[in-house]
Amino acid sequence: MSSRYFNPFQGLDIRVPNRFREAFGRYCQTHSEDGAKSSVVHSPFPRMVDMWFLAACLGAQGGRPADYDTKDTYKIIDASILSSDPWRIDALVLLAIGYTKNVEVISQPRDVLAIASGFAVAGMDRLLEMLGDGDSEPVWNLSDELDRLLKKLVPAGAHSQ
């Protein structure tokens, strides 16, 4: 299915501030360095892009992407990875349109990715809080926090509309 999609972010990098390096290493099952796997309980995210994307979604809750020093970043993965979940490409574009209120951003994939990265940085602290808050392991802490948050955001029956 992904082959039907054109990935406008092909050739771009997904980068995050260096201060999150340890967090990505800890909470993702694939470590960029050695590809070693760790347990789901302590490392809930299959890949780094999954953590980054969820951070972007959470960051969007605040409405504004974070300002951060783009030089003090490191690449977590090539943005071509987004082709594996093409809906994410649409979601990122929609996020950019929603934020800029300008549809022309669609033709600027670098800007779209920058906006998304800004939201990701904005959402990272919240995500790390969610992973660490609670008496259980990160996977259950995060699940419980998301469950609580979404029950507030999406009242029951909202989807059937």
Partner 1 sequence: MKLLSARFHNFRLLRDLTIDFSVDAHKKLSVIRAENETGKTTMLAALQWALYGDDALPNKGEGYRIHPIDWDIKRSAQVPISAQIEFEITAPIPGPSGATRQTRKRYRLLRSATETISGAGWRRSRSTPQLFLMGENGDTPLAEPEAIIVDYLPPELREVFFTDGDRALSFIEAGLSTTTKRDRVQRAIRALLGLSVIESAERHVKDASSDINRKARAMTASADLQKLTDEVEETEKAIADLEEDLKASKEQFEHLDEQLNHIDKRIGAALQKGDQEALAKELEGCKRRIRELDTQLDALDKAHSSLFKSASLARDLLRPTLESAMAIMDGLRQQGKIPNTTIPVLYERLEIGTCICGGTLDEKDPDGARRRKYIEGLIEQNRKEDELQKLLTEFYFRSKSFVYDQSRESMPWVQLYSEYFAQRTAVEKQRESEGGRMRAIEARIAALGNTDIAELRQNQGLYRQQRDDANRKVAVLQNQLANRRQHLESLTKRRDALLKEESKGQLIAGQLNAVQDVLLVLQRSYERICNEELKKVSDCMNAMFLRMIGADPEQNAIIRKAEISPDYDILVYGAEGRHLNPDQDLNGASRRALTLSFILALTKVSECEAPNIIDTPLGMMAGYVKREVLRTAIQESSQLILFLTSSEIRDCEDILDQYAGCIVTLTNPAHYPRMLVNPPPSPLVQILRCDCNHRQSCRICERRLDAVIADAATEAAYV
CA separation, residue 47 to residues 40, 43, 89, 96, 100 (Å): 11, 10, 17, 23, 28
Query: Is the separation of the CB atoms in 32 and 77 below 8 Å?
Result: yes
Which residue, 9, 49, 12, 11, is CA-closest to 29?
49
Mark the segment that binds partner 1 (CB under 8 A) among 11-19, 30-38, 54-62, 67-75: 54-62
CA separation, residue 124 to residues 35, 49, 156, 160 (Å): 22, 13, 27, 31
Q: Which of 61, 70, 72, 136 binds partner 1 (CB under 8 A)?
A: 61
First-last CA distance in the chain: 27
133 touching partner 1, by CB under 8 A = no
Task: Tell me which residues in 62-101 interact with partner 1 (CB under 8 A).
Answer: 85, 87-88, 90-91, 93-95, 97-99, 101
Q: Which of 10, 18, 19, 46 binds partner 1 (CB under 8 A)?
A: 46
- Report in angstroms how near the CB of residue 72 gets to partner 1 at its nearest: 26
Output 6 or 67, the one with its CB closest to partner 1.
Answer: 6
Q: Which of 14, 15, 29, 122 binds partner 1 (CB under 8 A)?
A: 29
21, with CB counted inside 10 A (0-12, 13-18, 19+), is middle
For the chain, how many residues are written? 161
The footprint of partner 1 (CB under 8 A) covers: 29, 39-41, 44-47, 50-51, 53-54, 57-58, 60-61, 85, 87-88, 90-91, 93-95, 97-99, 101, 103-104, 106-107, 139, 142-143, 146-147, 149-151, 153-154, 158-159
